[in-house]
Structure 1
Amino acid sequence: MEKAIYSDPYNVTANWVGENVFAYNGILCTPTRDDPKLTVVSGVYLNHSDIAGYLPVELGLLTDLTTFHINSNRFCGIIPNSFSKLQHLEELDVSNNRFVGSFPDVLLKLHSLVYIDIRYNNFEGLIPAKLFDKNYDVLLLTHNRFTSENP
């Protein structure tokens, strides 16, 4: 992800060097569900870091990710379709960034997702009715450019 970052004024990602991902700022690593001897990246927490960049498709390789919080930064672009591989993802908070495009339909493919916060971005168009078929714990969509109302 570090190559997808254009600006990091607080140097949050300064220690993202080398193979010891477990020591990287903002990265949570825990034992896997299947093998407690194996440690994997399970969370990304980069809230309020003023980081500018985009989300690379390689994030889809973090298949054990359960939490992805990057609110209050300057990330732009779209939520990549590779997020469909994050089948354990429970929480997604990309609020207060600069994401664009239509509602990220890839979120509809994430059956473990119970917390969605995409407020304060530049998403536009219709909100898929299918989104409201699931009973999320948290679903925050306001302050975008959606043309449909929340039911």
Structure 2
Amino acid sequence: MAFKVIQSFKLKIEGDPTGIKETWNGPNVCNYTGFTCGTVPVFNQKTVAGANFNNRNLSGTHLTINEILVGLEDIVFFHANSNNFKGTIPVEASKLKYFFELDLSNNQLSGPFPNQVLAAKKLLFLDLRFNKFEGFVPPQIFTLDLDLLFINNNNLVPQKIPDTLGKTPALYLVLANNKFIGGIPKSIGSAKDTLLEVLFLNNQLTGCLPYEIGYLKKTTVFDVGSNRLMGPIPHSFQCLEKMEQLNLAHNRFSGVVPEAVCCLPHLSNFTLSYNYFTQVGKKCRELIKEGKLHVKMNCILDLPDQRSPAECAKFFSVPHKCPDEKSLTYVPCSKGIYGNELESSDMQLTTLTPELAPAHSPLGRSYGALAPH
């Protein structure tokens, strides 16, 4: 069965710059480059369990994933980053019994957002970035039991991020470079037990940051750069004890940068450039000297490379108020005390020994999704 499916697929490939299909000869498909075989649990027999066409740049006038994906009935993973597949995801993919990973990033897929993936209940890994999908993202996408969801860089219509965001069990979530509008849903705090990295950058988000972001006790990367967000940094951000990379640059944030946020123990890159902040304290200034805090083009009078007084005056001549300003002083990790910023000693932080320190890389895993390859 797999032999016939692969040979039929081979005929549709017109461009094959790496010559992968030249290895697809003979009856033993387990020896074909790009295919992985495994044992079917129920029948204890070998079958094609995976396809990896990453960076092969395959092309063809009628090259789709339909026949190859659906035809390999026991497939576990299908990785096809950086090719020229057209069409969309077949509805029949939801019927695959062992299907856990689908990577179709950086292809020519188009049409409405593929709602058919909602029926693929066993998927753990869904990467649809850098395609031409249009329309709305269904709220149910955030209820799938995924570890990873990348849908950045598509042609989605302007829409609010669904409130179901907080139901996502995803560890890595990238919604960047689309046209999401409105605010970040307060429900995001409900993802506190799973969410490690989340990228909202380069959308059209507005409003103030909800204090519920402070519940994200496991999150190491949080990026809302290049949006239209405003208001102060919620005091709840001092509860983000695992945070390593925090990017709020290129927005309309203002006010005082909370000292307690600058005391977060793992913070290695805190970017506030191109906003309207007016004041930074002692600890934050230490981070500036260490190159961990970036405040270029704000309204901090005694620091270099700031906006002009006229530009700052113009911004502050118009009120910039948040709907629920009291909530922005709420610190959930201080047992509900309003207006009290925790000092670093109050957070019961210890000096990390090398074996306890988290592995750190210059860029989180999610940032890799911002490049097509």
TM surpasses 0.5? yes
SS of residue in 1 equivalent to 2:37: strand
Residue range with higher mean Cα deviation, 2-11 or 21-30: 2-11
Question: C-alpha separation between the residues in 2 aligned to 1:58 and 1:12?
Answer: 15
Residue range with higher mean Cα deviation, 135-144 or 15-24: 15-24
Which residue of the partner structure matches residue 19 of structure 1?
Answer: 27
Cα deviation 1:83-105 (Å, max 9, x = unaligned): 12213111100001111111112
Q: Are 2:38 and 1:30 equivalent residues in the alignment?
A: yes
Residue range with higher mean Cα deviation, 131-140 or 23-32: 131-140
Cα deviation 1:20-66 (Å, max 9, x = unaligned): 11111100001111133x10111000101111132233531322111
Which residue of the partner structure matches residue 50 of structure 2?
Answer: 43
In structure 2, what residue type is equivalent to 1:27?
Answer: F
Name stretches of at least 5 consecutive residues in structure 1 with no aligned partner: none
Compare CA radii of gyration and give the structure with the larger one.
Answer: 2
Which residue of the partner structure matches residue 81 of structure 1?
Answer: 91
Summarize the alignment of residues 113-128 of structure 1 with structure 2, pairs less than 5 Å apart. Answer: 113-128=123-138
Residue range with higher mean Cα deviation, 78-87 or 138-147: 78-87
Summarize the alignment of residues 69-108 of structure 1 with structure 2, pairs less than 5 Å apart. Answer: 69-108=79-118
Question: C-alpha separation between the residues in 2 aligned to 1:15 and 1:121?
Answer: 28
Question: C-alpha separation between the residues in 2 aligned to 1:139 and 1:84?
Answer: 17
Question: C-alpha separation between the residues in 2 aligned to 1:95 and 1:107?
Answer: 15
Over 3 Å counting, the alpha-carbon distance change for 1:29 and 1:72 in structure 2 is: same
Q: Are 2:120 and 1:110 equivalent residues in the alignment?
A: yes
SS of residue in 1 equivalent to 2:51: strand
Which residue of the partner structure matches residue 151 of structure 2?
Answer: 141
Over 3 Å counting, the alpha-carbon distance change for 1:149 and 1:24 in structure 2 is: farther
Question: Size of the alignment, in residue pairs?
Answer: 150
Residue range with higher mean Cα deviation, 59-68 or 44-53: 59-68
**Contact kept? 2:17, 2:58, Cα under 8 Å:** yes
Cα deviation 1:104-145 (Å, max 9, x = unaligned): 122111111011000000011011111112241000001001
Over 3 Å counting, the alpha-carbon distance change for 1:150 and 1:63 in structure 2 is: farther
SS of residue in 1 equivalent to 2:85: strand
Over 3 Å counting, the alpha-carbon distance change for 1:47 and 1:129 in structure 2 is: same
Superposed CA RMSD in Å reads 1.5
Name stretches of at least 5 consecutive residues in structure 2 with no aligned partner: 1-8, 163-373
In structure 2, what residue type is equivalent to 1:51?
Answer: L
**Contact kept? 1:87, 1:111, Cα under 8 Å:** no
**Deviation above 6 Å: which 4+ runs of structure 1?**
none
Please point out which of 8, 24, 27 is paired with 2:16.
Answer: 8
Over 3 Å counting, the alpha-carbon distance change for 1:58 and 1:45 in structure 2 is: closer
**Contact kept? 2:122, 2:145, Cα under 8 Å:** no
Structure 1 length-normalised TM: 0.91
**Contact kept? 1:4, 1:55, Cα under 8 Å:** no
**Contact kept? 2:65, 2:85, Cα under 8 Å:** yes
Which residue of the partner structure matches residue 71 of structure 2?
Answer: 61
SS of residue in 2 equivalent to 1:77: coil
* Percent of paired sites with the same residue: 34
In structure 1, what residue type is equivalent to 2:24?
Answer: W
Q: Which one has a larger percent strand, Structure 1 or Structure 2?
A: 1
SS of residue in 1 equivalent to 2:23: coil
Over 3 Å counting, the alpha-carbon distance change for 1:149 and 1:45 in structure 2 is: farther
